[in-house]
Amino acid sequence: MKTYTNTGNKDTRSGFGAGLTELGKKNENVVALCADLIGSLKMDEFKANHPERFFQVGIAEANMIGLAAGMTIGGKIPFTGTFANFSTGRVYDQIRQSVAYSHKNVKICASHAGLTLGEDGATHQILEDIGLMKMLPGMTVINTCDYNQTKAATIAIANHHGPVYLRFGRPKVANFTAEDQTFEIGKAVQLTEGTDVTIVATGHLVWEALEASKALHEEGISAEVINIHTIKPLDKDAILNSVAKTGCIVTAEEHNYLGGLGESVARVLAENNPSPQEFVATNDTFGESGTPAQLMEKYGLNANAIIKATKNVLTRK
Amino acid sequence: MPNTQQLEDLTTQVRRDILRMVHKVNSGHPGGSLGCAEFFVALFQNIMDRKDTFHMDGIGEDIFFLSNGHISPVFYSILARSGYFPVDELNTFRLINSRLQGHPTTHEGLPGVRVASGSLGQGFSVAIGAAQTKKLNNDNHLVYSLHGDGELQEGQNWEGIMYAAAHKVDNIISTIDLNGQQIDGATDDVLSLGSVKAKFEAFGWTVVEIEEGNNMDAILNGMEHAKTLTGQGKPVCVLLKTVMGNGVDFMMHTHAWHGKAPNDEQLAIGLAQNDETIGDY
């Protein structure tokens, strides 16, 4: 089976920062706004390079979203930066009316998503943001898996006209996708070929899915791992083609099973090819303080959880 | 440029449009619309340096944002009367498949609308963002916005108001429709705003007061004065004291007609108080 090498742990938020820096040099219409989290979002370099195109908003996320919507009028491409919780739940109505319904070309860039934010605890660990954003008509929803992919996605979304939610995280995780990749919105990436089970994962769970597939391979179970970086629009063909071959699926995400990737996949299967599915996701719960690894273990969001889910789903074929 | 009499004649026609639009569908917001009729006519016919055809980006022209989207009847009337779309389309207000939604939106592509509004308190942020883009584009034109007074109870306004002063956004003229009324009653009774003037000044804005917000000359003079105060490092706020329901005697000075349409008899009385001037749609 195809294997992937971790070229060294890196945080996805730094991939965002690097992508934004590159965009700043290439596209003078790109502007950036941040709500008092420049360091956390890795926006320092863009700010230093283009002070006239960088806007410190202070701790006022609702205003930031509205400002970004307004800045599009006249041709700017605003990238907003704050934590995922403050990028979505706190400002849902502002995004809904001023950005999504108004179809403004705003890129909502959200770091520290999910449990891997760690010790700050549940107030900051949003596990509902994918659901909130995917329900908005016209919103593109992306959750990248590593540094290289986050950098590529950041650059790619500037060329997509329309609102985008780009989700990434805080911890240093395996960096394994190609440095020179072209990021194609809505196009799933098949990482391994397999015949027994399809594993579709998004965000930090993609590497865990690869780790799980290696262990399963040693037990004689052939897993096809697909990286679904774009939850909306969902690559239905990639899912259906794979499940037609394997007959069952495991979905894996750092998000509540309600409203997440798994539900989107379940709908595609229900409409086209009803198949056994297991969900690796949080079970309608808030998180808590702890290290990222402890939290992912406790809430069942790692390679071991994917292996267990795979064995369950195989019994249902 | 039209003279005061012509502007007043158009205002009378706009009042008729408002009454007929909300009457036809038995819904909509006549009170605040009537209170701002003179302001909209002055703004679109005299104050703003705007292009005849609509371009979303509004480059090289003054642009306007309506934050209190529920007064869509007056907005739609002046947009149509200013040539953005056919006046006959006012017949479709709030009907299914119409571009004239209950609250203004870009979603159906109505010329003249640059952002959806209706959920209150979002207009300051959008207008300020657009003003900053004008600066980035070296576009010396102005951004105008209108906000309800009750709407100022929403917290997001004050985030934007604080931001605009801190970032020296001095190419914006934001007008507050100070009619002292909101759905549940007088603003003083629902949630007192205190001194709006003192609040804006404390937040670093230059404030212009128009005491007679339904007097065309007072509006023209006040807005021209406001223009002279732009470009001086501070955002400009106009406090426009209006009478809700102005021009229809039984609708004046009360919140009762905030979101209520007149019946046939009431419509006839209202229209009788506002004779047709440039022609009904």
User: Residue A91: closest CA among chain B residues belongs to which residue?
Assistant: B156
Residue A110: which pLDDT band, with cuts at 50, 70 and 90? Answer: very high
pTM beyond 0.80: the answer is yes
Q: Check CB contact under 8 Å for A31 and B136.
A: yes
8 Å CB contact of A103 and B107: yes
Whether B227 contacts B173, CB under 8 Å: yes
Q: How far is CA A222 from the centre of its chain?
A: 26
- What distance in Å separates the CA atoms of residue A293 and residue A299, rounded to the nearest whole number? 10
Q: Are A103 and A162 in contact (CB under 8 A)?
A: yes
Pairing of strands A223-227, A189-190: antiparallel
Residues 6+ apart with CB under 8 A from A241: none
B128–chain A Cβ distance below 8 A for any pair: yes
Contact B156 A103 (CB under 8 A): no
- What's the pLDDT score for residue A268? 98
Identify the three-state secondary structure at position B8: helix
From the list A123, A48, A36, A129, the residue with the least C-alpha distance to A80 is A36
Model confidence pLDDT, tens digit, residues A177-205? 999 999 999 999 999 999 999 999 999 99
Please judge whether B156 and A63 are an interchain contact, meaning their C-beta atoms are less than 8 angstroms apart: yes
Please name the residue that has the structure tokens 């657009």.
B130
Q: Which of A97, A136, A139 is the best substitution to test chain B (most B C-beta atoms within 10 A)?
A: A97
CA distance B223 to B237: 10
Q: Is A193 a catalytic residue?
A: no
H-type alpha helices, chain B: 4-25, 30-35, 37-42, 72-81, 123-136, 155-166, 187-191, 196-202, 216-228, 264-272
Tokens of B164: 């605009």
DSSP annotation of A254 reads E
Q: What pLDDT, in 10s, does the model give residues B218-236? A: 999 999 999 999 999 999 9
Count of alpha carbons within 13 angstroms of residue A47, beta-carbon side: 16
First CA to last CA across chain B, in angstroms?
23
pLDDT for the residue B242:
98
Give per-residue pLDDT as tens, B172-210: 999 999 999 999 999 999 999 999 999 999 999 999 999
In this complex, is the C-beta atom of B230 within 8 Å of any C-beta atom belonging to chain A?
Answer: no
CA dist A50 → A26, A42, A55, A63, B278 (Å): 12, 14, 10, 21, 52
Of B137, B155, B163, the CB nearest to A57: B163
Question: A162-180: string of b/e by CB count within 10 Å (b at 16+)?
Answer: bbbbbbbbbbebbbbbeee
Active-site residue, from A22, A52, A61, A208: A61
ipTM of the complex: 0.97
Which pLDDT belongs to residue A1? Answer: 85
